Amino acid sequence: YDASAREMWAEHSAPWPHALTMIEATAIIVVTPVALEFVASDKAVRVEVSFTDYAKLLEYVDALNAGEPELKWALVQSQAQASGEATAVIVSRAVRR
């Protein structure tokens, strides 16, 4: 019961609405969110995006970080395919106050 209660509390106290608002409000042409995952144990949001221009991907991460300082977003993985398509993983962490 204890582990389940702690996980529920982590989900409840994480800044999910703020993260979703930031993702929805950030639009950069050629960068498209394709998957979203909440990691309750880390109080993190993991966003997978597809992109065609690496500079635009970095602009997207900067735009996510331009909001309120409640969350810090970081590019943790990027890979390109031979077909020219590319994907990246961006993870947020709650900033401790």
Residue 41 has pLDDT above 80, yes or no: no
The Cα–Cα gap between 36 and 39 comes to 10
Q: What is the pLDDT of residues 53-95, one digit of tens each?
A: 999 999 999 999 987 677 899 999 999 887 778 999 999 887 6
Q: Rounded to whole angstroms, how far apart are CA atoms 36 and 23?
A: 10
DSSP 83: T
Task: Concatenate the DSSP letters of all residues of 20-78 into one string.
Answer: HHHHHH--BTTEEEEEEEEEGGGTEEEEEEEES-HHHHHHHHHHHHTS-TTEEEEEEEE
Between these two residues, 12 and 31, which has the higher pLDDT value? Answer: 31
